[in-house]
Amino acid sequence: MNLTKLTLNNSRITLIAVLLVAILGVSNYFVMERDSMPPYTVRFASVVTRMPGASPLEVESLVTDPLEEVIRELAQVKSIMGESREGLSVITVELSTDVGKKELDGVWMQLRNKVEDAAMTLPPSIVGPVVKDDGIGDVYG
């Protein structure tokens, strides 16, 4: 027997089943927990360096590549994406999911220290580099 015929022949049972599912759905909706700001740890930062008047190739070879090498030394780094534009280097750093919320500030401090140390070897015409994690890793629920 197919489902359509069974449903039409037993309309009272079908109606009771539909009402039961609807009542359970509505009651669970009101009991369910809601959180306007669920806990979520953001593990991204960017390293921004300006080099006025430099071509993208100069920015890449003189700023982006050396900074990426230094950043790659951090064990907690999952991925690095560098972008070199005219007069600007932006490196996006993603940390691995193993880094907990409590360890995040320490890792960002290590990143800042490495970038500051590397800045000494970069050309004197640069502005920065600046590590921007913006504290967005501190999202609380």
Q: Which tokens in the block code for residue 95?
A: 């940390």
CATH number at residue 95: 3.30.70.1430
pLDDT at residue 95 greater than cutoff 60: yes
Q: Please give the average per-residue pLDDT across 68-83, as a whole number.
A: 88
Question: Residue 14: which domain range?
Answer: 1-34
Band of residue 16 on the pLDDT scale cut at 50, 70, 90: very high
Same-domain status, 69 and 115: yes
On whether residue 120 sits in a domain, the answer given is: yes
On whether residue 123 sits in a domain, the answer given is: yes
Same-domain status, 66 and 115: yes
Q: Please give the average per-residue pLDDT across 98-126, as a whole number.
A: 85
pLDDT at residue 12 greater than cutoff 50: yes
Q: Please give the average per-residue pLDDT across 49-75, as a whole number.
A: 88
pLDDT at residue 69 greater than cutoff 70: yes
